[in-house]
Structure 1
Amino acid sequence: MVTPDVTTVELTERDLDNGQRLASVLFAFGKQQATVSARMSKAGVDRTAIIMLKTLVMVGPCRSSTLAETIHSDPSTVSRQVAALVKEGLIERRADPEDGRASLLAPTDAGVALLQANRARFAMSLARMVRHWEPADLDRFIELFERFLDDHDNYLPTLISECANPVRSEGGNS
């Protein structure tokens, strides 16, 4: 199946309405996630550490620049965050076998254990939240959400490009 170039397809009024609804629910979801992250941070669980550990487990040992690119973050920011995680014993630097001058980042056993413990707690809490859903509804929601996340990930560079331009008020003041 050939997918058309979605950036050149004319949008209908329904498409725009659906985009608005989706933007609204994603904004609300983002606010809820930010609230959870803030509370977790106060309890000593750093969301950035979890993201970096999860990424390193998924992609395997990699350079800091690759990690920054994978998580869509600034290399200097990632470098500072990595230094803190190395100090905490959650990430380690290994010699790059292809270039002895460079190092690869990898999660330590303690980092993997932290990631697994956080995933288990989060999964248990989500399971409690949706346990009243009909199993077929939950299966369908998960299937569609996974599909959405795949599309979102593939479209992310375009989304960033389309949304990164500043919006100015009509009066010319920003």
Structure 2
Amino acid sequence: MVTPKPDAPSAELSSTEVERGERLANAIMGFGKQQGAFIARMNRTTGIDRSAFILLKNLLHLGPSRSRALAEAVHSDPSTVSRQVATLVKDGLVERRADPEDGRASLLAVTAAGVRLLEEQRARFALSLTRMVRHWEPADLDHFIELFERFLGDHQDYLPIMINECAGPVRSEGESR
């Protein structure tokens, strides 16, 4: 058994579990690197950065919302989201609406142009992924999708804990608190 460090969760993990976690972390980091390259290229060709797509997708999912609720949904600082939303409003992808419950506040909503952009991007991405895995056995692909969807659900649920676990400063093994 591997005993967790003082600031780690209290449950003990076996060395096999830790090894699997390291393999998963390496795979995710490799995927993240590939996605980073993809996203950088997409930013240059579409003129819209990844954070804009994240905000648009979350806002579409939430429905008309206050900026603070959007910031919470994307685990970001409200002032950062406010600046990003200003650009989306300027680009016609998001609009501000009066909040019917509080006339002093406004709600953010994705415009028809924003919805169109998301739908077009998702369709292109889905077709590209389909071409990438078309040589997979259908049962393997179905199983992978099922497991990946399960992983994403668990990741979403665990994300606040993960942020707390991983947000601290990195210390070397011999360094004390």
Instruction: Establish whether TM, by shorter chain, passes 0.5.
Output: yes
Report SS of the residue matched to 1:112. Answer: helix
Q: CA deviation at 1:79?
A: 0.4
Q: What amino acid is aligned across from residue 61 of structure 2 in structure 1?
A: M
- More divergent stretch after superposition (15-24 vs 46-55): 46-55
Q: Take 1:164 and 1:50, find their aligned partners in 2: how far apart are those partners?
A: 24
- More divergent stretch after superposition (65-74 vs 48-57): 48-57
- More divergent stretch after superposition (163-172 vs 142-151): 163-172
TM-score normalised by length of structure 2 = 0.90
Residue 111 of structure 2, aligned match among 86, 108, 111: 108
Q: Deviations over 1:19-72 (max 9, x none)?
A: 000000000011111111100011123222211111111110100000011011
Q: CA deviation at 1:73?
A: 1.1
Report SS of the residue matched to 1:132. Answer: coil
Q: Take 1:18 and 1:70, find their aligned partners in 2: how far apart are those partners?
A: 29
Q: Note the 1:3-152 alignment, pairs <5 A.
A: 7-43=9-45, 44-152=47-155
RMSD, aligned CA: 1.2
Q: Take 1:14 and 1:171, find their aligned partners in 2: how far apart are those partners?
A: 24
Report SS of the residue matched to 2:169. Answer: coil
Stretches of structure 2 lacking an aligned partner (at least 5 in a row): 1-8
Q: Deviations over 1:63-89 (max 9, x none)?
A: 000001101111111000000000000
Q: Take 1:26 and 1:149, find their aligned partners in 2: how far apart are those partners?
A: 12
Q: Take 1:47 and 1:19, find their aligned partners in 2: how far apart are those partners?
A: 27
Stretches of structure 1 lacking an aligned partner (at least 5 in a row): 1-6
Aligned to 2:5: none
Report SS of the residue matched to 1:147. Answer: helix
Q: Take 2:173 and 2:117, find their aligned partners in 1: how far apart are those partners?
A: 49
Report SS of the residue matched to 1:141. Answer: helix
Greater than 4 Å deviation, 4+ residue runs = none
Q: What amino acid is aligned across from residue 58 of structure 2 in structure 1?
A: T
Q: What amino acid is aligned across from residue 41 of structure 1 in structure 2?
A: N
Q: What amino acid is aligned across from residue 105 of structure 2 in structure 1?
A: A
Q: CA deviation at 1:171?
A: 7.5
TM-score normalised by length of structure 1 = 0.92
| Identical positions, percent | 66
Q: Deviations over 1:88-115 (max 9, x none)?
A: 0000000111111100000000000011
